[in-house]
Amino acid sequence: MGKKAKAWLFCNLKSIVPFRLGMLIRSFLFALVVLASGMALGQAQPERMSGMVVDSATYVPLPYVSIQVKNTSRGTISDAKGKFTLMAQRTDTLQFFMLGYEQTEIPLYDWETNVVPLAERSTLLRPVVIQDTRLENSYALLFSEEYAAWRKSNRALPFYYSRWKKEKILVRRAQQEQIRTRTYVDVVIKNPDTKEGLMKKYGLTEDAYYKVLTRFNEESHTFMYYLTAPELLTTLHTFFEQEAERTR
Dump pLDDT digits (tens) for 109-147.
877 767 888 888 755 444 444 344 343 456 777 788 888
Distance CA 10, CA 44 (A): 51
Rounded to an integer, the average pLDDT of 90-109 is 87
CB contact at 8 A, 63 and 80: yes
Distance CA 235, CA 41 (A): 36
Give, rounded to a whole angstrom, the gap between the first and last alpha carbons of the chain. Answer: 102
CB contact at 8 A, 122 and 100: no
Fold type of domain 47-118 = Immunoglobulin-like (2.60.40)
Nearest alpha-carbon partner for 65 in 126, 117, 135, 143: 117
Task: Give me the pLDDT at residue 171, please.
Answer: 76
**CA dihedral angle for residue 237, residue 239, residue 241, residue 247, rounded to 10 degrees:** -150
79 pLDDT exceeds 50?
A: yes
In sequence order, the 6+-apart residues with CB closer than 8 A to the CB of 186 are 73, 229
Using one digit for the tens of pLDDT, what is the confidence trace for 167-198?
Answer: 888 778 777 788 888 888 888 888 889 999 99
Task: Give me the pLDDT at residue 240, please.
Answer: 92
The structural domains of the chain, with segments of one domain joined by +, span 1-44, 47-118, 130-246
How many percent of the chain have pLDDT more than 70?
A: 75
More confident residue, 44 or 204: 204
When mean pLDDT is compared across 37-51, 109-123, 215-229, the lowest value belongs to 37-51
CB contact at 8 A, 57 and 89: no
pLDDT category, 40, cuts 50, 70, 90?
A: very low
Residue 158 identity (one-letter amino acid): P
In sequence order, the 6+-apart residues with CB closer than 8 A to the CB of 244 are 202
Distance CA 76, CA 155 (A): 38
The per-residue pLDDT of the chain, averaged, comes to 77
Task: Give me the pLDDT at residue 133, please.
Answer: 36
Rounded to an integer, the average pLDDT of 135-163 is 78
Task: Give me the pLDDT at residue 18, please.
Answer: 53
More confident residue, 44 or 119: 119
